[in-house]
Amino acid sequence: MVDEIAHDLRAQVMKHNAKKRVILFVSLGLVAVLFLLSLMVGSSGLSFAESFLALFGNGTNAAVRIVQQIRLPEALAALIAGAGLALAGLMMQSTLKNPMASPSTLGVSNAAVFGANLSIIAFAGGFLETGNNPQDFALGANPFATSTIAFFFAAISTLLILGLCSVRGFASETVVLAGIALGTIWTAFTTLLQFFATDVGLSAAVIWTFGDLGRATFTTDWIMLAVVVASGVVFYVLQWRFNAIAADEDVASTLGVKVKLLRFVSMFLASLVTAVCVSYLGIIGFVGIICPHVMRRIVGSNHRFLIPGSMLCGSMLLLFSSLMSHVIGRGTALPVGAITAILGGPFFLYLIFARKGGRV
């Protein structure tokens, strides 16, 4: 009798896992379709056929350059950054056991914005260098330097948070509150910088904060890919530990899980992924909050399926937002960060109020 019950349970688990694998394969197919559509749609007026041929080096020089040098890096950035931001959000929610946690929880985005403003306003187009001359600003601006400084301050913010929270044992409330406090401080510093900026420097700094996939290059894509893949592999190897923490931290400790160390490593890697994506592409919100919740409802809370599912969902959301930015813009690409907020805000409200008692 016991053997029959155990056999039935194993059969049910295998059936559920098979369904989850089907969902992941369908999600992968949708990502591939959206990726191809991103290469076909743009403001240049190229037809689908011309875009497809240009992808493989056929057609006019202008068409090949548009598809291979502009659209392809942008589509790759959406694919990689979407997966990375969703992964970062999932890891923060899982390790902190806080459904509201996201890449912005640690103030990483705010720190990156301050670093970018410092680079643009103080050293390229602002009060320390070029004054109010747009031509001088164009000569002095260095996008790579801006991203590097943005990443540097994002990393500092991450280390500050982790250092402060180690004093209080990494309680989830401590991490969230410390992140909010540091984020407010970085925002205050950014405001002071912008107050003294010239018109040119202020405009450039504000434009940088827009989530813009168009600034991506193959170099930045490779850097983001290396960080996202490496972090994803680490998280997937540790996936059973996240399942143990989700059940109960005391039980996880008895199973040999070093909860504090796991939380430290997870928060650091999640912040690293966020810092890299934000420093190159600007602020892209809601991906890290929405996608883990969506996939948790679809595939459940087993991180074996939840990790790849969240990454695929993030890629889908950002690729779809990129498509919408081109379609709605009609000749120009709108900031993709605004599109993700427009799509993600109402959907997140639905997630909150669709459950009884307003619990996510």
Whether the pLDDT of residue 142 is over 80: the answer is no
pLDDT of residue 231: 94
Whether the pLDDT of residue 81 is over 90: the answer is yes
pLDDT of residue 87: 94
- CA–CA distance, 96 with 273 (Å, rounded to integer): 17
φ, ψ for residue 91, nearest 5 deg: -65, -35
In a domain? residue 4: no
Whether the pLDDT of residue 201 is over 90: the answer is no
pLDDT of residue 3: 56
In a domain? residue 49: yes
pLDDT of residue 358: 47
- CA–CA distance, 288 with 88 (Å, rounded to integer): 6
Distance of CA 125 to the CA centre of its chain: 28
Two tokens at 8? Answer: 């039935």
Domain that holds residue 82: 13-358
Residue 8 makes CB contacts below 8 A (sequence gap 6+) with none
pLDDT of residue 168: 65
Task: Please give the average per-residue pLDDT across 269-293, as a whole number.
Answer: 86
In a domain? residue 336: yes
Total of domains in the chain: 1
- CATH number, domain with residue 176: 1.10.3470.10
pLDDT in tens, 87-120: 999 998 888 777 777 777 678 888 888 888 888 8
pLDDT of residue 236: 93
In a domain? residue 348: yes
- CA–CA distance, 294 with 23 (Å, rounded to integer): 12
Reported as a pLDDT band with limits 50, 70 and 90, residue 355 is low
pLDDT of residue 172: 66
Residue 100 makes CB contacts below 8 A (sequence gap 6+) with 176, 289, 360
Q: Nearest-CA neighbor of 77 among 341, 340, 336?
A: 336
Task: Please give the average per-residue pLDDT across 3-10, as a whole number.
Answer: 57
Q: What's the residue count for the chain?
A: 360
- CA–CA distance, 29 with 17 (Å, rounded to integer): 18
Q: What is the mean pLDDT of the chain?
A: 81
pLDDT in tens, 292-342: 988 998 998 889 999 999 999 999 999 999 988 888 866 666 788 888 888
| Residue that has been written with the tokens 């983001």 in this structure | 224
Sequence letter at residue 357 = G
The string of DSSP letters for 238-269 reads THHHHHHHHH-HHHHHHTT--HHHHHHHHHHH
CA distances from 320 to 33, 39, 155, 306, 328 (A): 10, 12, 29, 21, 12
Task: Give the CA radius of gyration of the chain.
Answer: 22
pTM of the entire predicted model: 0.86
Whether the pLDDT of residue 129 is over 70: the answer is no
Task: Please give the average per-residue pLDDT across 30-57, as a whole number.
Answer: 85
Sequence letter at residue 13 = V
pLDDT of residue 32: 95
In a domain? residue 141: yes
pLDDT of residue 329: 67
Whether the pLDDT of residue 7 is over 60: the answer is no
Q: Nearest-CA neighbor of 108 among 145, 180, 158, 177?
A: 158
In a domain? residue 99: yes
Average the pLDDT over each of 17-21, 202-206, 351-355 and give the range with the smallest value: 351-355
Whether the pLDDT of residue 125 is over 60: the answer is no
Average the pLDDT over each of 123-132, 202-211, 286-295 and give the range with the smallest value: 123-132
Q: Could you tell me the maximum CA-CA distance found in the chain, to the nearest angstrom?
A: 84
Contact between 215 and 281 under an 8 Å Cβ cutoff? The reply is yes
pLDDT of residue 113: 85
Two tokens at 39? Answer: 């290469």
pLDDT of residue 128: 45
In a domain? residue 206: yes
pLDDT: which is higher, 217 or 358: 217
Task: Please give the average per-residue pLDDT across 218-227, as a whole number.
Answer: 93
pLDDT of residue 57: 83
In a domain? residue 131: yes
